[in-house]
Amino acid sequence: MESTKNSFEGLFSLASDLSRSTFNFIMDFNEKSLNAIKGTSNEIIEEFPNLLNFHRNDDCSCCPPKHECPPQCLAAITRNAYKGERIVVPFKIKNVQKVNKHYRVGVRTLKDDTGNTAPSQPALNRSEVTLQPGESEMIFVSIDLVKFETGHTYNTNIVIREKDINQNVCLHLNVLPYSNIPESKPWSEKRLTTHFQGWQSHFYCDSPIKKG
């Protein structure tokens, strides 16, 4: 009986030692695994900005091409004027290509800031140009502002077209109220005739009135 009891206690002790060893092994393994994961995470965090900048590298030979949209306005012209004026607005067209180019030129309807058509429309001095590489040509836009409303803004696009695509020069016209207008003050004619009739004298007396 005593021998059986000793055997049982020995087995129990052995099982306890095995459990303790297994537990220590698992805890040690988990700690090492967590440290390894933490180290890998730190490396990823440190490299994350580089990963974000991967597609921004201009030297990248396998990156997708950059998307470049054409501008809404090749040029923007703003002109201030007064009601009643006839204005002439110049602009240039330049051929920046390596071959000769022929462009047609037109102008859209001029409208005010509420969408109403302007009382008179702009006119171009020419409707087409042919340019050699590097050559530029002056175009003039004229507008008669006799019936325009003071305080309004008017907008239109001057259209340049080679074949199928319109490219625009944006024109903004501000009709301003009159301000700082030069003022002339005529002299009395009597003063002019008595004081400035000749260079020989600095002063003339008034002629006596003859009685009939």
- Tell me how far CA of residue 96 lies from CA of 75, 104, 133, 135, in angstroms: 15, 16, 6, 8
> What H or E segment, with its residue span, contains residue 126?
none
Predicted pLDDT of residue 54: 47
The pLDDT of residue 190: 79
Which residues in 171-206 are b (16+ Cβ under 10 Å) and which e? bebebeeeeeeeeeeeeeeeeeeeeeeeeeeeeeee
Helix (H) or strand (E) run with residue 138 in it: strand 136-144
Which pLDDT tens digit goes with each residue over 25-82? 566 655 666 566 656 555 555 555 555 554 555 556 677 767 667 788 999 999 999 9
- Model pLDDT, residue 202: 54
pTM: 0.58
Question: Which regions in the chain score pLDDT beneath 70?
Answer: 1-61, 65, 67-68, 194-212
Residues with Cβ within 8 Å of 40's Cβ and at least 6 positions away in sequence, in order, are none
Q: What are 59's strand-pairing partners?
A: none
